[in-house]
Amino acid sequence: MKRENKYDAKHLADVDVLVVGGGFPGICAALAAARLGVRTLLVERNAVIGGQAAEIDTWGLDGFLDIDGRLLIRGIPWEILNLAVAEGQSDPLFSKIDYRLMEEEGIDAALRKADLEPYIPYSRPDSWMNAFNDQYVNPNAYRYVALKLLEEAGVQILYQMPVIDAILEGKALKGVIVQGENGSKYEILARRIVDTSQSAVVSTCAGNPFPHSNGYMGTLVRVSGIDIMRTLDFIEEQIASEDPAVLQAEEEEMRKAKEEGTRAPEPGWFLRPMVGKRAQPDEMRRLVQGGNPLFIHGFMKTLEKAIRDNPEYAAIKRSNGEHVWLFYERDNMGCYPVFGDGFEEVDVADPLNYSSAVNAARRLQWIYHRFFREYIPGFENAHLMDVYANISKALRVPEEPEGFTEYTISREDLAGYSDRKDILTYVRGHPHSGQNEHGWGIPMASLIVRGYDNLLVTGKPAGRMIHYIATCAKVGEAAGAAAAVSVLENTPLRETDSDKVKSRIG
């Protein structure tokens, strides 16, 4: 049967495994496949790999650990994290932990050994925040490590080549059409395809769109030249000027919530990773002097003054809600978590709606920076730095996308009660959302798109609760290994032995 190629595209490659998307999942998928000895090609729509893992400060060691603080995500994602941290200029907390002790006795024991008592307990049931929810991994160190490993594994990378169509023989998926930078169209044939894009673009091109396109989005832009000690002096002055009765009431509410095991209310100033307590400037100074990052929530009284001076600053309050955020990384560098109006519900599939939301977020980047520069001491000489080409986003999938893949992950699976035989790996999902935080299984069938025996997906298309950066990467590794084993065994994906795949995942 003749292949459909309406573009008369030039033939570019014929490979065993094609990986679509160069984010963390795609990197891990390509490495897993190539290390098993199959010809692997990675296509990326931009001129840089790394994806959202290089654009947002939410790597979080907790994504690699279970609720007891023991390592859950190993293999290629853990390898990349450790190599990136070893390059330097990442969060020092990563290198202070005795991981052997953590495995034997849990992370609280490792924290005590490292004189990090304020970070205990590691995880709390009354809050989504903990000592390791947000940690800075130097994005360029991460990209360097990923590129080096991909090159060593023999993975070919094609940049600025978005997938624009699928190649079909009848209903059989044979490859994809990509568009080059000069507008030329190219044909890539592949025995197996691992689609790590957020919206399952290959399946959509083949006529089977992923049914969920609403998401929340924003952008974290970097800023340099911060005099953080001046900023902490300012915060101390602000706290000293507040009504003591209000402060006492806040402390009482937080104490009561902690005793009852309920979620503590957010105080007027608070600081991750110090959860369930008001931020203390001396504590913040100690953390900074130790090289640790700060995620500061507050600045609302100053924002209200700025709004009175210039109503344009009201956009910050509309988008950020009860707090203005600053993520201070280290070495006078940080980032602003910036969102546009209506960022909570953006229809990514609607060009007008999506573009409007992007415009709002991009405009707000400068407004946010101007607010800090004009109103927050320590930012007078700060500079807004690189603005990423992408907008970070996560799809909202209210229920499992039933019927999109060969198997729909159920609530029983999320609770850890699955008795399926094809589970490839165990992961954590979005914190405090009804899943088993000791880890729940990812069945191989949940990665296989229904109707195609050679197409795998990762991320939300594979499961609603796939969320953490570490989890997304681990699912990518599993998909890449499954694709490679399927090729080596010359079996369709649905007939491939999941035990053989599992044995090849670290």
Q: Which two tokens stand for residue 247?
A: 């402060």
Q: Which of 56-65, 273-282, 497-506 has the lowest mean pLDDT?
A: 273-282
> Can you give the pLDDT at residue 191?
98
pLDDT tier for residue 268 given thresholds of 50, 70 and 90: low
Handedness of CA 287, 288, 289, 292 (dihedral sign): positive
384: closest CA among 229, 221, 218? Answer: 221
Pairing of strands 40-43, 10-20: parallel
> Can you give the pLDDT at residue 430?
66
**Averaged pLDDT for residues 487-492:** 97
pLDDT tier for residue 265 given thresholds of 50, 70 and 90: low
Q: Which of 91-100, 209-218, 335-344, 495-504 has the lowest mean pLDDT?
A: 335-344
Helix (H) or strand (E) run with residue 27 in it: helix 24-35
- Judge contact between 153 and 30, C-beta under 8 A: yes
Q: What pLDDT, in 10s, does the model give residues 355-400?
A: 988 888 889 999 999 999 999 999 999 999 866 767 778 888 876 6
Q: Which two tokens stand for residue 355?
A: 């573009």
Q: Which two tokens stand for residue 414?
A: 């999320």
Backbone phi, then psi, for 475, in 5-degree steps? -65, -35
Q: Which of 90-99, 167-176, 444-453, 476-485 has the lowest mean pLDDT?
A: 90-99
SS3 letters across 31-76: HHHHHCCCCEEEECCCCCCEHHHHCCCCCCHHHHECCCCCECCCHH
**Averaged pLDDT for residues 268-277:** 63
- Judge contact between 157 and 151, C-beta under 8 A: no
**Which one of 3.50.50.60, 3.10.310.30, 3.30.310.50, 1.10.260.40 gives the CATH number of domain 10-212+398-502?**
3.50.50.60
Q: What percent of the chain has pLDDT over 70?
A: 89
Residue 275 has pLDDT above 60, yes or no: no
Higher pLDDT, 496 or 111: 496
Q: Which of 35-39, 72-76, 315-319, 419-423 has the lowest mean pLDDT?
A: 315-319
Ordered by start, the domain boundaries in the chain are: 10-212+398-502, 217-394
Give the integer Cα–Cα distance in Å for 271 and 129.
10
> Cβ–Cβ contacts within 10 Å for residue 270, how many?
22
Q: Which of 158-162, 357-361, 470-474 has the lowest mean pLDDT?
A: 357-361
pLDDT averaged over every residue in the chain: 88
Does the global pTM surpass 0.85? yes
> Can you give the pLDDT at residue 290?
77
> Can you give the pLDDT at residue 111?
87
184: closest CA among 10, 414, 368? Answer: 10
Backbone phi, then psi, for 126, in 5-degree steps? -95, 5
Pairing of strands 440-443, 423-427: antiparallel
pLDDT tier for residue 266 given thresholds of 50, 70 and 90: low
461: closest CA among 198, 258, 265? Answer: 198
pLDDT tier for residue 24 given thresholds of 50, 70 and 90: very high
Residue 242 has pLDDT above 60, yes or no: yes
Higher pLDDT, 298 or 457: 457
**Averaged pLDDT for residues 414-440:** 83
Q: What percent of the chain has pLDDT over 90?
A: 53
Sequence-separated (6 or more) residues with CB below 8 Å from residue 428: 62, 63, 65, 66, 72, 73, 435, 437, 439, 440, 468, 470, 471
